[in-house]
Amino acid sequence: MSNQDLEARRNNAVARAISFSSTFVAQRAENAEVWDVEGNRYIDFCGGIGCQNVGHRNPRVVAAIKDQLDQLTHTCFQVTPYKSYIELAERLNALLPGDFAKKSLFFSAGGEAVENAIKIARYYTRRPAMITFTNGYHGRSYMGMALSARMVPFKEGFGPFPGEIYRLPFPDDFHNVTLDDTKRAFETLFRSDCPPDQIAAMFFEPVQGEGGYNIATLEFLEYLRALCDEHGIVLVADEIQTGMGRTGKMFAMEHYDINPDLTCIGKSIGGGLPISGVVGKADIIDVVPPGGLGGTFGGNPMACAAALAVLDEIEQEHLLHRGLEMGAQIDTRLRKMAERNSLHCIGDVRVLGCMNAIEIVTDRDSREPDGDLTARIVTKALNNGLILLTAGPARNVIRLLVPLTASPEIIHSGLDILQASLEEALA
């Protein structure tokens, strides 16, 4: 069996809309490595788009899934509850910072978590409008697309989108967007289009994933928290990519010591299995009456068992501390690359914990994004055995989502490939 044979079969059988970035078909994976059907080995700095913080086939997670498989695979929690769902809610409620009572509920994908956070916020406030931010990403459902900023290919041709959604500037020093710009936009919104007493929720990412790894400032989040408190607006943190230790904290918001009202989780919480959720203030979540929220497969017992094992792995293997060390190791290496005259295309280096990225530009003075060069770098890296992801409106940001369980040697080798690929693409 070859990659080429399977590619031909995929083209004949799988919908064209399901895009792909790799030129190979995966056969197996272990921790931070993937092997294709021809036996070629790759270092994985993608992690299934941030879903493998504890690594592919983590032994603790695999054991939990096998144990659950021997008991039951699905009953629907709303029909016949089971212990793993309850235990996971208890664990997450205890882990979420904040001096208030908490509750949790679970779904299958990150987009569902966002959708249900919207439903909770609207029910709680009895208001229609939502605020979101430039370069944000919140999923591919219709409300998720409406909240998200990227038109092509996520939104083009799929309109019309739900109304009463207002997009405001996300402060971004590298691209000369200031907090004052954001404040003026809020003032204009409240004065011209939507008064604050009609806004149900504000959705933001502490670090914008698809948007280019733009990191929120403390001042920005303090401003949002104060604004929401003043006007009775629900503050929702989308931590689907930033959560579960990715930034060296269980939740990225712990870096800021600011508590959102609701937090959306997903991706790495399942250790490779599909599960997402909303965790937050019990007095907000519990306004929705029984039966108002749910889903057939939400909080599937296999996924809940995997999620509990993920939390055990993070705690027992000290992955939060390890993630901070890894992030610093990667950041140091990326900054050394950026200092090289031969790598003048690196315009910016970003890091929060182990959430690392570089922005590729045509010129450091103009900071003009170079998406074409970025695509060549990623292609060169894949040919050299390293899986990477792009991000940003111009797809000119290379983001690194290294498993927190990766060895220093694997990280070093992957960064060697990245540097060589940068040099090859510039040659």
- Domain with 172 in it: what CATH number? 3.40.640.10
Final residue of a domain: which of 316, 333, 364? 316
The count of structural domains within the chain is 2
- The reply to whether 136 and 225 lie within a common domain is yes
Count the Cβ atoms, other than its own, within 10 Å of residue 357. Answer: 27
What pLDDT, on the 0 to 100 scale, is given for residue 117? 98
DSSP at 161: P
Cα distance between residue 402 and residue 56, in whole Å: 11
Question: Sign of the C-alpha dihedral, residues 169, 353, 29, 423?
Answer: positive
- The reply to whether 43 and 118 lie within a common domain is no
Is residue 37, in this structure, part of any structural domain at all?
yes
Task: List, in order, residues 6 or more apart from 310 with CB less than 8 Å away.
Answer: 53, 54, 58, 61, 244, 268, 269, 270, 271
What pLDDT, on the 0 to 100 scale, is given for residue 201? 98
What pLDDT, on the 0 to 100 scale, is given for residue 336? 97
For 58, 74, 302, 312, the CA distances from 70, given in Å and listed in that order, are: 19, 12, 10, 20
- The reply to whether 164 and 251 lie within a common domain is yes
- The reply to whether 93 and 202 lie within a common domain is yes
Is residue 63, in this structure, part of any structural domain at all?
no
DSSP at 393: T
Final residue of a domain: which of 289, 316, 343? 316
Structure tokens at 259: 């508590």
For 133, 147, 285, the CA distances from 163, given in Å and listed in that order, are: 15, 10, 24
- The reply to whether 241 and 202 lie within a common domain is yes
8 Å CB contact between 259 and 212: no
DSSP E strand boundaries for 293-410: 346-352, 355-363, 368-369, 386-387, 389-391, 397-400
Structure tokens at 285: 């979540």
Enclosing domain of residue 296: 72-316
For 103, 127, 155, 244, 351, the CA distances from 292, given in Å and listed in that order, are: 15, 17, 28, 27, 39
- The reply to whether 16 and 90 lie within a common domain is no
Go through the chain and tell me how many residues it has: 427
Final residue of a domain: which of 316, 339, 367? 316
pLDDT tens, position by position, for the chain (427 residues)?
899 999 999 999 999 998 887 789 999 999 999 999 999 999 999 999 999 999 999 999 999 999 999 999 999 999 999 999 999 999 999 999 999 999 999 999 999 999 999 999 999 999 999 999 999 999 999 999 999 998 888 888 988 999 999 999 999 999 999 999 999 999 999 999 999 999 999 999 999 999 999 999 999 999 999 999 999 999 999 999 999 999 999 999 999 999 999 999 999 999 999 999 999 999 999 999 999 999 999 999 999 999 999 999 999 999 999 999 999 999 999 999 999 989 999 999 999 999 999 999 999 999 999 999 999 999 999 999 999 999 999 999 999 999 999 999 999 999 999 999 999 999 8
Is residue 64, in this structure, part of any structural domain at all?
no
Cα distance between residue 221 and residue 260, in whole Å: 9
DSSP at 119: H
Is residue 380, in this structure, part of any structural domain at all?
yes
Cα distance between residue 294 and residue 282, in whole Å: 16
What pLDDT, on the 0 to 100 scale, is given for residue 150? 85
- The reply to whether 195 and 281 lie within a common domain is yes
Helix (H) or strand (E) segment spanning residue 283: helix 282-285
Strand partners, 201: 130, 234
Is residue 307, in this structure, part of any structural domain at all?
yes
Is residue 83, in this structure, part of any structural domain at all?
yes
Is residue 67, in this structure, part of any structural domain at all?
no
What pLDDT, on the 0 to 100 scale, is given for residue 299? 97
- The reply to whether 151 and 247 lie within a common domain is yes
- The reply to whether 124 and 187 lie within a common domain is yes
Is residue 62, in this structure, part of any structural domain at all?
no
The amino acid at residue 389 is L
- The reply to whether 43 and 161 lie within a common domain is no
Read off the CATH number of the domain in which 21 is found.
3.90.1150.10
